[in-house]
Structures are given as C-alpha cells and as structure tokens.
Amino acid sequence: MSERLTIGQMYPNAVHPSTLQRPTAPKSTGGPEASFENVLQRNMLKFSNHAAKRLEQRGITLGSRQLDQISSAVDKAAAKGSKESLILMKDMALIVSVANRTVVTAMDGSSMKDNVFTQIDSAVIIS
C-alpha cells in the first residue's frame, strides 16, 4: 500500500461529509394502518381478470372455506420455494403465481380432462 494511514483515521483518502450521514427513512403518511394494509394486501389471495372470467364461464363458485384452503396451499408452496403452482381440489384445478399470491387461471373437472399443465414447478393437492 502506498497510502499513508494515521492513527484515528479510518479512511485513507478524504471522505465527503455527506457519505457519513445516515440515510433517513421515508416517513409514512398513513401510520400503522398503512403498514397493516400493506401486509394484508401482500398476504391476500387475488384473482387475475383471466381467472375471474374462467370461474364465471365454468360456473365455479368458491366459498370462504375453499378460499382458506387455497390460501393455505399457496403458503405451503411458498415455503417450499415454488414460483408457479398447480393446486388441485376435488373438482377443479387452479394455476397460481405464488410470489404474487394470484390465481392465474381456473378449470373445472371436465376442462381438466386430457389437459397438459405447463410452466409450473409444483403441485399442491387439497383433499
């Protein structure tokens, strides 16, 4: 090393004072409610427009119990590191983007027959 260090000096060259200041955290305008809302939005199961149309076209209705089961299945897939998952229920199949917690498409039992599911890295079977 060709640079000289003196006792009590941490940096070999002059350091601009602005680099020594701590960055200030952005102030949230909503307070604790906004952070709770953000957490809720991140953990809530969503349906894409395509999935909503497919559910309507195929006459599939989901109750609160089924939504809880799907949400739990997404949690399990996320815990295993999945990105795109196939969730199979008794008479329906859902393709879910695990990272976004979004149902991408949905099929009923008759639509699933002779079908090939691509671009998935996991499957969760709900009985």
Q: What is the pLDDT of residue 26?
A: 59
Diameter over CA atoms, the chain: 78
Give tens-digit pLDDT for 84-113. Answer: 999 999 889 999 999 999 999 999 988 888
Q: What is the pLDDT of residue 114?
A: 85
Q: Which of 86, 91, 65 lies closest to 76, judged by CA?
A: 86
Residue 126 CB neighbours (<10 A): 15
Instruction: State which residues of the chain have pLDDT below 70.
Output: 1-34, 37-42
CA distance 123 to 74: 10
Q: Which of 108, 104, 100 lies closest to 118, judged by CA?
A: 104
CA distance 125 to 110: 17
Q: What is the pLDDT of residue 66?
A: 92
Q: What is the pLDDT of residue 43?
A: 72
Q: What is the pLDDT of residue 92?
A: 92
The answer to pTM > 0.75 is no
- Long-range contacts formed by 48-54: CB under 8 A, 24+ apart: 48/102, 48/103, 48/104, 48/105, 50/104, 50/105, 51/94, 51/102, 51/103, 51/104, 51/105, 51/106, 54/105, 54/106, 54/107
